[in-house]
Structure 1
Amino acid sequence: MPEVQINMAVPSDSPAIAAILADPLVQRRAHLMVVPDPTAVAMLMQSTHLLTIRCDKQIVGIMTLEQVTATCWELGYLLCRTDWGKGIMTAAVGLLCDRLQPGNCLRATVDDDNIGSQRVLIKNGFAKETDDGEQGKWFFQKGLALIKY
């Protein structure tokens, strides 16, 4: 498996991110409602915590984090279609979980038919929660335990 890195996105990452978002299947899976161009990516960077996923120094995906409560974050992610099934997203989500402060929780919503994304979350210790009445969605949550010294 190639080395995976996650970093906060910077403006110079916008063209690479826009190229990933241009894939129609990625757009459908991510429920995107924006035109995937560098300007839209720059606006996304201003409105959320946007991280890049790099593999062999190339940007192959992104993760978004939105604060829901003081200690809970909503996770979103997507990956270049050519990199699906390689364990890259599983590794990236694991890296993110390792970096979050203890005592936080991380949650994600996944479409019922997106088995790959469900596997990413399960492999990283997320548990399926009850749905909020939305058909065809899985709600996952992971509490990041407090470390006692």
Structure 2
Amino acid sequence: MRLTPATVAAERDRLRERAPAVVPLLNDTRTALGELFDTEVDAVTDEQYRREVDRVFTDGDRAVNVAALAGLLRDLDVEGDYPGFVVDELLGRQLASTIAGGQPLALLAEATFHFADTRVDGAADSDTAGADDLDAALAAGFQTRLPGWSWREGDSPFAVEPTASDDL
């Protein structure tokens, strides 16, 4: 794999084009998690997903890592599949985390990746072992970073104001 600004831009375009596959999985994951946590979560449109892909790729450091992880997952195949189970899970988890951003969203995206991965069907003979993990990682990472969760609306009640003597 060779990464250049041009290959990173091409990867961004490929991820944008995945909207018809990723957005339904993303919304299915949100609905299922909302039911589990007894909350309503806003659905995401294809256009919201594509705009957020663009935002992720405006950060060059994040973009090169997302492009590399996505490319590895897309091409990853292991004879018999099962021996490669751990590596595709590892790459998928890292991709979801990288897309989501810093903590605590990164950890939530990693956990959500495993949940989304159970909801994806990578049974097509033409799919590589990592193809379903790629879609699950995209769904998990973007559903985590996009708005729609009520607990993420507004300021955290745990923020502590500095005292007058603190020098910020």
Q: TM over 0.5, yes or no?
A: no
Q: Which has the higher contact order (CA 8 A, sep 6+)?
A: 2
In our comparison, the structure showing a higher alpha carbon Rg is 2
What is the TM-score of this pair, normalised by structure 1? 0.32
Relative to total residues, which structure has the larger helix share, 1 or 2? 2
What is the TM-score of this pair, normalised by structure 2? 0.29
